[in-house]
Every structure is written in structure tokens, then in C-alpha cells.
Structure 1
């Protein structure tokens, strides 16, 4: 079947988490029963593959689209070199409670499961309750021995940096950075296509099955970047309309923020797909063969061959591409 490229929207894969809630309903998303912590909005992973809900490819999974259209739609940079899958995983997170203190490995960590990638990611804070914070990196002079001793003595929190957050803040989290989202935030997450997390501490709480969740102390100690991995954050509340502001840049993704308040003509590149996350507001998305209304909480995969497209309305948009 010869299908012209068009913006793809997917049915999210919802994940129940001990720290989740119901806040994703505010975006009009349909949630199953339970504490829903993660909506996998665009995913091509064994633990969650999303299916298209719009247009000619409705009902087709992202994995099948990858196999059918290959580099034509995803671009020359649109594949993981390690496992051939779509390189990114896009999530919305509802943190009704604190997440575990955790760290992710790099691609070359020998303890990774077969076919799995490392996990460099970034967060964009969509909403934050007063006083909300995150754990973001280590305090000065914390080395492996210091961390190991603090864990053994039950005082890991003494080694960690707490950072207050508000809507519009962006955080780049390279693999090796100790981190944790805390209660009261809703987040858009752009990350490598990986589901590998090593937990250092989980507040001694039971998981959904009533048992204490597994910790991964040795793996965590092995992959922590004690001297820093290049984590940076910025506040982007003053983004000028009609311009892209880079809020995260890595070897795996570049994420930009744009404010739409008038018609804005844009285009895709043959080298990479584009992913649009509507972070706030509503408007429309136009391309050569169509137009559709869009609103906060929606995510779209624009094929590399889509070409010219346009945005209009009153909204804040995050755009992600794979860099050269």
C-alpha cells in the first residue's frame, strides 16, 4: 500500500506505577483503572509499542511502520544503530508520589540486557504544585565509596541535590546522572528508546504487588558518573513566539521549545523525523494533504518526507529530532 506521509498520532500505552495518579486525564487521555504514572505516547519497545489512531495507517504499530517504510519515513538518522528500532521513546508522566532514586546506564554498559539501549533523557515540566522539587545529581565530593557508605548507613538522601521546579523548566539527564522526579509534577519526557532503570533507593515502600521493589545497588554504583555527565537545566518561560529555543541537546536527540501565536511555516528534514508534543494550549497542524486540530497532551510523529507543514493557534510546542 502506497501511503503519502502524514502526521502520525498514536494511542498511548498506559502504565500503572506505585507513584502514579490520575492527572493525565486532564489532557483528555483515556486512563485505565489504577494509579497511572506513565503514558507511552510514541513507543517501539518490547515493553510497549504504540499504534496509530489517525489516517490510513490507523491500527498499525510503530514497529510495523518502521519495517514497512524504513528510512524513507524516519530519515537517514532515524534508527538506533544498536538494535534497529525507533531511537526515541516519548512519555507523559504523572508523579503523584516520589519516584525511586535512580540512575540509567550508557549504551556501552556490559550489564545491559541484550538488545537494550542505555538511557539518556530530558524532562520538560508541564505542571508543578507549589513547593515541587526533583532530585538532580550529587552533592560535591561524592565518590563511589561515599555513596556506598551512605547507602549502607541509610542516609543516601544526604548525598543528593534537591532542585525546586516549576512549569516551563527543562532538565537534561545524561546517562549516569542520579535523579528522581518527586511528588506534584507532570512531565513530558523525551528519552532514548530504553526501559532500563537501576534503583538506588525506593523509600522502603511496597510496589503494586505488595512486595518491596527490587534495588540495583551494584549496577547503580557501576554506572553513576561521579564527576558529572553534563547534566544542565534551564528555565524557558520567556521563549519568544515564532522561534525555536533549544532546551536539551544530546547525541540522541535535540529538543526545542516554540511558542505559537500566529501562522508558523515549518518543514521536516530528510535526515530525521520530527516529534511534536503540544505542551500547552491548542491550535492546528497543517500539511500538504490535510489539517487537523491539536491540543495540549497530544504527540505527533512527522515523517522525514512530510516536507512543509504549519502550526497555528495559541500553544506551546516541543519539537524533537535526531541530530547529525
Structure 2
């Protein structure tokens, strides 16, 4: 069996009507077009990333999962439903407003075969002055009120708009109506799902010039009108060398860390660790490496195998750490 080491993947880029070119600012090389999503670590039928570095270069995450299983991904590291890697890690460039949307829970009966529900969280990497997002319904909006607003064209009046700036974080449980809006770049940690129900799309055409499909009935069915437990927080109180918890749910834990000195850490046998580099530069060393290390730069994402053991972060950088609870 290969010696475990941190895996970096070639992103799968997705063109979206609302996308732009901001991912280039992270040293990525997306293809031409309106690139809205970089799937950084993915094991999904709609996109599977391939290893960039080390002995496993060229292998897909699905092949890594099949070859090494729980030894590398952890005892909790393979989804019970569908058998795939349980998380999907993205960078999103919102050059325009996304559709107003909502995601189902795992038990929604109309889920596509093999799909999971979708609980997710966002960490805002960059936001233009005045940027905002849609984050939940206004107080008192129930199913009938939302249905009527969709029918009479006043749905925007039912939605809660929240200003955002870099460093803000948003936890979005399935059932929460939401939309990223223009001028925002985020890192997204989510369940491994590509199921989105669009409630409203501003009556705009898609990339093919035709209106994009809406999913009004499914959206009305899965929306949590009393709230699903969505939470938001500022993170400018993070302390160097200590993890600040941003989100914790049955699907993932996400923490923010400020690296200003050598920080000795280790993986555990029950879960892989994902590192998303948000800003600055640093270095990643690990115990099994023979004088090897990785240079950390903003926009990079790494999968640390559960059996990697001890590793060290150093430099001057901000990272997100994600793992399974």
C-alpha cells in the first residue's frame, strides 16, 4: 500500500450564467467562459477530480477511494448512501446573482437516484463593497405566502437579504432558502450532492439563451418555513494557533485557523481532513515525508488521509479545516 501523503486535485470547472473570472486570482487556470464553480475535491457523477501530485497523480478521487477505502478516508469516510466520498469542496465566483434556491434533506422522497440531500456552509473569501446574499425567508413567510409571492411576481419581498464581507461564514442546512449574489467569492463545504431546486431566477436566460428550469413544487415541498437552524458569524476574532469552529452538523465540522508560527497537528483514524487555504502563504510538512513539503497558497485545497498522522502548518496563512464528526 502506498505511503499516505496530502493530495491535491485538478479542479473540475463549471461554466455558469452567473460566473466570471475571479478564480484566476487564486492562481487557477479555468477555461474560457463564465466560470462560476471550481470543484476542488469531488467524487460525483457530475464531476470527479484527479490527483495532481505524488505517486497517485492522475488517479481520480473515486479510484483513491476504491483502492484505499477507510484506511485513507477514515472509518466514517465513505458515504453509506451511494458509497462515494461524503463531501464536495468548491470555490464559487459569483459575478452575478445566483438563482434563489433551496436544497432537500437526505430523506426527501423525490431525490434523484443515488443522490444525497445538501447541507452546506460558505466562507466568504472576497466581497465587493455593498455585496449581499439572500439568507432565509422573512419572518412570518409560510408555504402559502411563498407560493402566492411566486405566482404574483413578488418573491423578492419574502426574502431576507444580508450584507457580507470577507471572513463571514454562513451555515446553510437543507431547507434554507438562499442565494449568493453578485460580487462574492466563497469557499463551500457541502454534502456530496448536486441537487438544487430553483425557486426564482430573475427571468433571465441561461447560457443557451433559454430560460433555466425552475423547480417550484419541489422547492415549496422542501423549504423549512420555521427555519432549519441556519447560523452566521463573523470570524475576525480568530486567535492564531487555535481552531475557531464555524459549523458543526451530522455531515461535517468546519473550523478556521490562523497560522503565524509552527503549528503541530495530526489526523485521526475516523476521518480524513480537508484544508482550504483562504489567504497568505505557508508550508505543510508531514511525518512520513522524506524531506518533502508542500507550499500553501490561497485557493489551494488538500485532502489529508486519515492515516497521515502528524503534520505541521507554518508560515503566515489562513486555512479552513474540515472533517467528519
CA distance in 2, matches of 1:250, 1:17: 29
Tell me the secondary structure at the aligned position of residue 157 of structure 2.
helix
Report how far residue 292 of structure 1 moved. 1.3
1:295 — aligned with what? Answer: 297
Mapped partners of 1:237, 1:183: distance in 2 = 23
Secondary structure of residue in 2 paired with 1:145? helix
User: Of residues 310, 313, 320 in structure 2, which corresponds to 1:311?
Assistant: 313
Deviation at 1:287, TM superposition (A): 0.3
C-alpha RMSD of matched pairs (Å):
0.4
Count residues in correspondence.
322
Q: Secondary structure at the match of 2:7?
A: coil
Q: Distance in 1 between matches of 2:317 and 2:296?
A: 9
Q: Which structure 2 residues correspond to residues 213-252 of structure 1 after superposition, within 5 A?
A: 213-252=212-251
**Alignment partner, residue 93 of structure 2:** 94
* SS of residue matched to 1:55: coil
Partner of 1:320: 322
TM-score, scaled relative to structure 2? 0.99
- Residues 38-77 of structure 1 show CA distances to partners (whole Å, capped at 9, x for unaligned) of 0000000000000000000000000000000000000011
Runs of 4+ in 1 over 6 A off after TM superposition: none
Question: Aligned runs of 1:75-94 on 2, under 5 Å?
Answer: 75-94=74-93
Structure 1's unaligned 5+ residue stretches are none
Aligned-residue offset at 1:237: 1.3
Which position in structure 2 is the counterpart of 1:257?
Answer: 256
Q: Report how far residue 124 of structure 1 moved.
A: 0.1
Residue 294 of structure 1: CA displacement? 1.0
SS of 1:90's partner is strand
- For residues 194 and 262 of structure 1, the distance between their equivalents in structure 2, rounded to whole angstroms, comes to 36
Q: Could you tell me how far 1:150 is from its partner in structure 2?
A: 0.5
- Give the distance between the partners of 2:174 and 2:86, measured in 1 at CA: 15
Aligned counterparts of 2:255 and 2:27: Cα–Cα separation in 1: 24
What is the aligned partner in structure 1 of residue 19 from structure 2?
20
Query: What is the distance in 2 between the residues matched to 1:308 and 1:4?
Result: 14
CA–CA separation in structure 1 for the residues paired with 2:170 and 2:260: 25
CA distance in 2, matches of 1:76, 1:170: 28
Q: How does 1:49-198 map to 2 (within 5 A)?
A: 49-198=48-197
The equivalent of 2:31 in structure 1 is: 32
1:204 aligns with 203
Q: Deviations over 1:200-224 (max 9, x none)?
A: 0000000001000000000000000
Deviations 1:237-258 (A, max 9, x none): 1210000000011110000000
- Hey, what's the Cα distance between the residues in 2 that align with 1:248 and 1:99? 23
> What is the rounded CA distance, in whole Å, between the counterparts of 2:256 and 2:172 in structure 1?
17
Deviations 1:116-137 (A, max 9, x none): 0000000000000000000000
Corresponding residue for 1:4? 3
Write the distance in 1 (CA, Å) between the matches of 2:27 and 2:161. Answer: 32
